[in-house]
Structure 1
Amino acid sequence: MSRPLQTTALLLALALPLSALAGPSVGYVDMQKVLEESRIGQQVQEQLRKDFEPRGRALAEEEQTLMQMQQSLERDAPLMSEAQVGKQRAELKERIAAYQKEAAQLQRELMKAQQEKGREIVVPAREVVNAIAEKRGLDMVVERGQNGLLYIDEELDITEAVIERLDDK
């Protein structure tokens, strides 16, 4: 290589920032852990539990009752008339349909509430992730557990810092 080319290459190398030579810096956050372990996440989970647990218990009790009714019918059917068996089966079928309808409704309401309450966590969490990324000079932060992310070095994890800063707010 000629002297002028060497000098130009040296000047270009000095002009490039070291971070550009090192490549982009990446971090990751485990949002599920943030949702489960941060104070705000635990408060949201507790509120959802308070709101939905009584109805869930009632459904569980109805399920037990339906199972007992079905077992009783199977046990006693040989001793009953066809009309009695038909009547009890129709009643059982009707109650099972009502149970399934109520369970599906509860599930839809719970999912909707989880999404709404989740926003109460995600918005401040994203702000914290952005602040931490800027402070650490990260070019990108990905979410752990996303499809396609097969391996990532544990040293790139900023989850605990996100939880700590969320709890400080």
Structure 2
Amino acid sequence: MRRILFAVLVLVFAFQTPAFAAPQKIAVTSMAKLIKDSEIGQDAQKKMEKKFESAKKQLETKQKELESLKQALQKQSLVLSLEAKQDKELEFKRKVRDFQDMTQATQRKMQMEQKKVGTPVLELLQKVVNEYGKKNGYTAIYDKKSSGFLYVDETIDITNQLMLEMNRAYRAGKK
């Protein structure tokens, strides 16, 4: 008797839930595109490039020096004595280590600066998405790439609308 009553209750609730459920309004957006193509994102990227332009050139110069030193070492290896060859190889290894240390230090600085420059971009993006979602009655707005969706109808993609809102908010904040 209990099983029958339980089955009836389950069926009643199963069929009633969709009838009383509010319609869901869902959208997707490309967070990567918003970050990369928005005015605030492009400004942040320009700041990063400008700040690390000299370090990048310095690394490229060091890399070219290492390549030319390696070629010179290979050419001279047949002519040099064993001791001179070992000295040159040690010098080359030391320079490679210095280059690697310099590269790692630059990458750490770039990551720290990326966080610093990227935080306002992400904060503005979050604010715009929240406001847009509330204003337009969305239940949920998902990121296209990280949401795990395999297919999304393009009619629910609001990336362009959010891009306009982000750019408006950024321009308003600059004034």
How many residue pairs get aligned? The number is 153
Q: CA deviation at 1:54?
A: 1.1
Identity rate, percent: 24
What is the aligned partner in structure 2 of residue 6 from structure 1? none
Counterparts in 2 of 1:55-134, with a 5 A limit? 55-134=55-134
Q: CA shift at 1:147, angstroms?
A: 5.4
In the aligned structure 2, how far is the partner of 1:143 from the partner of 1:135? 19
Q: Could you say which residue in structure 1 is the equivalent of 2:7?
A: none
Match of 1:152 in 2: 152
Structure 1 residue aligned with 2:141: 141
Code of the residue aligned with 2:39 in structure 1: it is R
Paired letter, 1:82: L
2 CA distance for matches of 1:119 and 1:164?
Answer: 20
For the residue of structure 2 that corresponds to 1:79, the secondary structure is: coil
> Which residue identity does 1:24 align to in structure 2?
Q
Q: Cα 1:66–1:147, aligned 2, differ >3 Å: closer, same or farther?
A: farther
Counterpart CA distance in 2 for 1:72 and 1:29 is 53
Alpha-carbon distance in structure 2 between the residues aligned to 1:159 and 1:118:
19
Per-residue deviation at 1:56? 1.1
Q: Paired residue for 2:47?
A: 47
Give SS of 1:138's match. Answer: coil
Give the structure-1-normalised TM-score: 0.84
Aligned position for 2:162: 162
Tell me, in whole angstroms, the C-alpha distance in 2 between the residues paired with 1:105 and 1:143.
Answer: 33
The offset of 1:110, in angstroms, is: 0.9
Q: Which runs of 5+ in 2 are unaligned?
A: 1-15, 170-175
In the alignment, the residues of structure 2 paired with residue 71 and residue 26 of structure 1 have an alpha-carbon distance, to the nearest angstrom, of 60
C-alpha separation between the residues in 1 aligned to 2:88 and 2:149? 54
**Structure 1 unpaired stretches of 5+:** 1-11
- When normalised by structure 2's length, the TM-score is 0.81
Structure 1 residue runs of 4 or more that deviate by more than 4 Å after TM superposition:
none
- SS of corresponding position for 2:151: coil
Give the distance between the partners of 1:40 and 1:133, measured in 2 at CA: 20
Whole-Å separation in 2 of the counterparts to 1:43 and 1:139: 31
